[in-house]
Structures are given as structure tokens and as C-alpha cells.
Amino acid sequence: MNKEYKKETYKDAGVEKSFTTKALISVLALLLAFALTLSSCGSAADNGSSAVTTTAASLDNAVSKSEMFTERDLSDDYDESEAETITLSGNSAKTSAASGVSIDGSTVTISAEGVYVVSGSLSDGQIIVDADDAAKVQIVLKDASVTSSDSAALYVKSADKVFVTTAAGTENTLANGGSFTADGDTNVDGAVYAKDDITFNGSGSLTISSPAGHGVVGNDDVKFGGGTYVITASGHGVKANDSARFAESDVTITAGSDKDGVHVADSDVEDAAQSESFFYMADGSLTINAQDDGIHADAKVIIEGGSIIINESYEGIEGLSIQISGGSTTLTAIDDGLNAAGGNSTSGNGAFGGDDWNGGGMMNDGGTDGIIVISGGNVSITAGGDGVDSNGSVEITGGYTVVQGPSSGDTSVLDYNGTATISGGTFIGTGGAGMAENFSSASQGLIAVSTGNQSAGSSVTLKDAAGNVIAEATPALDYAVVYISTEDMAQGETYTLAAGTYSENITLSDIMYSTLSGGMGGSFGGGGPRGGMNEGGMHDGGKDGMNGDMFQGGPGEGPGTDGVTGATQLKGDEAA
């Protein structure tokens, strides 16, 4: 692995965390390799082993909402009697503040820490925060509407942190009118543009519209800690440099052509593999319609709760590390559902000899640093490409996961080029047979079989010897293979699997039963990132080659940060 691990800590709301060192990872990697070597001596018919080796990802410290959000992030409290008021009126404004607020026509500039209640509307104006870099500014939107014809309706030039609070029972709007003009060296390209941390909270509603750019842009952290939001953009819905965090809010995002619903990428690094940018979801709801990734984070995607619905996407969720431990995640993707991929941020030209290909036209294996861990929650994936695709490993320890993919093409329910283990929860998968891969090991019963071509709507049912249904699904897509694993399945027991016209009594003489041919499997690995990870190169070079045109975008990147423990330092606020 190319990146040296550092023992680092991060703080948020007074909580410290420590991450695993590279030395520990090296030891675990050797143990993993040794265990896999021993397991390879088992029955070939199993297409795997009954031994589940704990990956380093299992040792990664879980995060929590209290670490990712301060109390003030999640609060809609403010004392209106102590606050200053800003009243907007067409192309002018007025304020109660004796200092800290200046008004120049339809431009309102806040330059001091404090709480400001904003009401009324500006037809072509702007609210600017340009305060000391230690200042915390709270802007309370109370039936406020701001449209800027050629810039951000809310532009945070300088502050420690800005809180945008929607007052209870109010409807508010921040919009760009259709073009953007740079502010000196700053390319302002969002209806809300923040150079520093910004938190949206409250219990009212806010509509953000950006017909010529991104919805919300944050050069540091972007947080949603309460309220209802509808974001429509021609670019990314939410574009953050350090992190995008969601809790206690109801957010609906519609992104533009070839753009992501939520896009978190570190513009300060040339190689996305070195990024520490992450996505975090604690609770609330997030609904996304995107033409590219539903959710993309260079380093980590962490879902601990809430409801995520990705109605449309090219790839559903992409990050070097994807960790799902709770909540409900439902996604539909033209290509891969979950894609754990890392790579060079400037790749994506799809040419032989480029970053996605080894010299001489040889395919790159896509790297081995990606990891997908599902330890809880309900996950439903409908994918036109691979359902669960990792440029490294897959680990399922809990939850209820249903994956459905098409029966044709070079797709697979499960695609990885490291290891794939299951030790808990329920996994039901249906999809294509041509590239089908089985889990590498399991510690609970697992059946993976070719069923012949079955039509969409043909139910899959697994019954135990007493006739009790222990797993069932009705795939919405055609399929030719079925995977079923539940905690109720045990070695030595007999089960009846029915899938469309297919029916078979299966005795688990070993913990894993498989009739899959294996396909090309791990020799090519996961799909890899498409294009670069950062804005300016992100996915512009084409789509995942293995599940689209083979020579467009390439099958994957070689280099990447070590995603096994997620050594990314998940940054949080040290104070409110």
C-alpha cells in the first residue's frame, strides 16, 4: 500500500477518536492471507470456505451523530427579541443593526457575529457574510426569498461557521437567476456558496434553485441538521470539499446532466486516493434524482440511519469505503449499485496506456483498497450493472440486503477483487450468470445457484424442511442466478428453493452450496471510478468500462488510499 498511515485524532463536540495504524493493518493483512490460504484447501464445489476472516474494517471505530453534529447544528433555537432584523424589499433592504450589517442597494453584507432574522424578498440581490474568521453567524430565514441573477443568493466569504435556520412554519427561497460571475479568483458557482463551514437547520422549509450551477457549494463542511429542503440544480445538488452530513432533516435533490446528487471531493489534493472527504447520514430522509452518482464521496460513505431513496442514478453510491450500519437505503442505478472504488483524480480518458490501463494495453485490476461493509439496516439495490461492486473487499455482518440486476451482459450481483464474506444478516441476490461470483467465505448458510433464465416478477422462495418460508423476494428484473443467505440457514439442513420455473431441494452438506461457474470474477475486480474524483475531472471521461463500453473509462484504477480501516480523519467541529 502506497499511503503511510498516521495515528491521528479528530474531535467533534468534545469527542475524540483514534484510528488504526498501518502496522496493525499489515499484521491483519498477513493473518487474512494465511486464513485464505488454509480455506482454499476445502471443497471446490463450495466455491468458498466456511471460515470467515474478520477484516480490518470490522475494527474501524464507528462514528455517531453526536460526533458529527454539535448541539447547535441540530437546534433551531434563537431569541428573536435579542436578534437583529434584516427586511428585504424588492431591490432594497433595511436593518435594525446599528453595526455589523451594511446595505448597498440590493446587497446585504453581514460582518459581525450574531443572530440575524431575515424576511421579505430581493428580486435581484444577495446576502453576503464577510466576518472575522472566528465569527459564528446565524441567519434565520423567516419567509425570506433571495434571487441573484449572476451570483450566489447567499455567499459566505468569511466566517468560522454560518447557521442557516428556517423559522417554524415559514417557506423560504435562495436562487440563482441563470448565470454566474466570478468574484475575483473565486469561481462562485452555487446558489449557496460557502468558503467556510455551513449548517442548515430549523423547522421551516427552504427551496434552493440553481439553473446554471450547483445547488449548495461548501469549501469545508456542509451539514443539514433539521428542516425541509428541495434542491434543484444543473450541477451537483450538494457539492462539498470536506464532508456532507445529514441528520433530522428532509432533503430532496435533483441534480443536472452527468452530475451527482451529493458530491464530496477534496479539491486540495491532486489524487482522489489521498482525499479525506466523506458523506455521513444519521437519520432523517434524503431523496435523490441524479444523472451520475446518487452519492459520491472520495474517501468514505457512512450510513448509520435514516431513509435514503435514490430514484435514478448512473451509479447509486460511490466511495472508496462504503459502510452501512442502519436505516433504509433504496437505490436504482443504470450501472453499479454500490461501488467501492479509488483512483487517480485525473483519470478517465479510457485510452490504452492511460491511468485506467497498464502500459501495452493490459488491463489494470482496479486496485484492492475499496471496501463495502453492511452491518445493519435495510438495503435494496436495483442495478443495470453490478449490484455490489468493490475494488477490494465486501463484508456483510448484518442487515437485510436485497440486490437485483439484469440476467444479461457482463454483470454480477457481487463483484470484488479481494474477499467477500458473510457472517450475519440476510442477503438475497438475483442477476446475471455470465460473470457471477460467489462469496469467498461464510459462517452462515449460503446458497448460490444458476437457475436458468427467469423472467422479471418470477418469485424466489426458500423454505426449510418443515415448509416454513425463511426468505423470499420478487425481482423486478430478469435473472439467471440466485443468492440466498440468512442467519436461519444451518449446515446439514435441507431447503427447497423455488425461482420461477426452477425448483430444487438443497442439503447444505457444507455451509456454502454453489453451482455458479465463477465467471471472470476477481481477475478484473470492481468497476473502478469513472473519470476523476474531483470536480473538473469527475466522471467526464466516460463510464465504467466493464459494464458499458469496455474501452470507455476503463475497468478500474490501480493506486488508491488504503480504505480498509478508513484512515480518513472524519473531521468534526470542536465547538458550536
- Distance CA(206)–CA(249), nearest Å, equals 11
Amino acid at 323: Q
Beta bridge partners of 161: 136, 197
Return the ∠ at Cα 388 (arms to 572 and 54), rounded to 5°. 70
Query: What one-character DSSP code corresponds to residue 99?
Result: S
The predicted pLDDT at position 434 comes to: 86
- Distance CA(15)–CA(70), nearest Å, equals 10
**337 neighbors 389 (Cβ within 8 angstroms):** yes
Exposure string of 298-327, with b = 16+ CB inside 10 Å and e = fewer, is bbbbbbbbbbbbbebbbbbbbbbbbbbbbb
Amino acid at 263: H
What residues contact 573, with CB distance under 8 A and at least 6 apart? 12, 13, 70, 73, 161, 197, 221
> Model-level pTM greater than 0.75?
yes
Residue 533: C-alpha distances to residues 190, 318, 404, 487, 552 (Å): 19, 10, 27, 37, 16
What residues contact 467, with CB distance under 8 A and at least 6 apart? none
Residue 494: C-alpha distances to residues 175, 450, 468, 499 (Å): 61, 18, 12, 16
- Distance CA(5)–CA(103), nearest Å, equals 50
Q: Look up residue 317 and give its three cell numbers.
A: 453510491
Beta bridge partners of 309: 287, 330
SS3 category, 227: strand
Q: Look up residue 212 and give its three cell numbers.
A: 446554471
Return the ∠ at Cα 213 (arms to 207 and 217), rounded to 5°. 70
Residue pLDDT tens, the chain, 576 long: 333 222 232 333 333 333 333 333 333 443 444 343 333 333 333 333 333 333 333 334 468 999 999 999 999 999 999 999 999 999 999 999 999 999 999 999 999 999 999 999 999 999 999 999 999 999 999 999 999 999 999 999 999 999 999 999 999 999 999 999 999 999 999 999 999 999 999 999 999 999 999 999 999 999 999 999 999 999 999 999 999 999 999 999 999 999 999 999 998 887 767 889 999 999 999 999 999 999 999 999 999 999 999 999 999 999 999 999 999 999 999 999 999 985 433 322 222 222 222 223 333 344 568 999 999 999 999 999 999 999 999 999 999 999 999 887 788 999 999 999 999 999 999 999 988 999 999 999 999 999 999 999 999 999 999 999 999 999 999 999 999 999 999 999 999 999 999 999 999 999 999 999 754 333 333 344 443 333 433 333 333 333 333 222 333 333 333 333 334 456 555 557
- Distance CA(504)–CA(34), nearest Å, equals 36
Beta-strand relationship, 84-90 and 92-95: antiparallel
Q: How many helices (H) and strands (E) does the chain have?
A: 2, 45
Q: Look up residue 458 and give its three cell numbers.
A: 418470477
What residues contact 111, with CB distance under 8 A and at least 6 apart? 100, 101, 102, 130, 131
- Distance CA(371)–CA(58), nearest Å, equals 11
**343 neighbors 389 (Cβ within 8 angstroms):** no
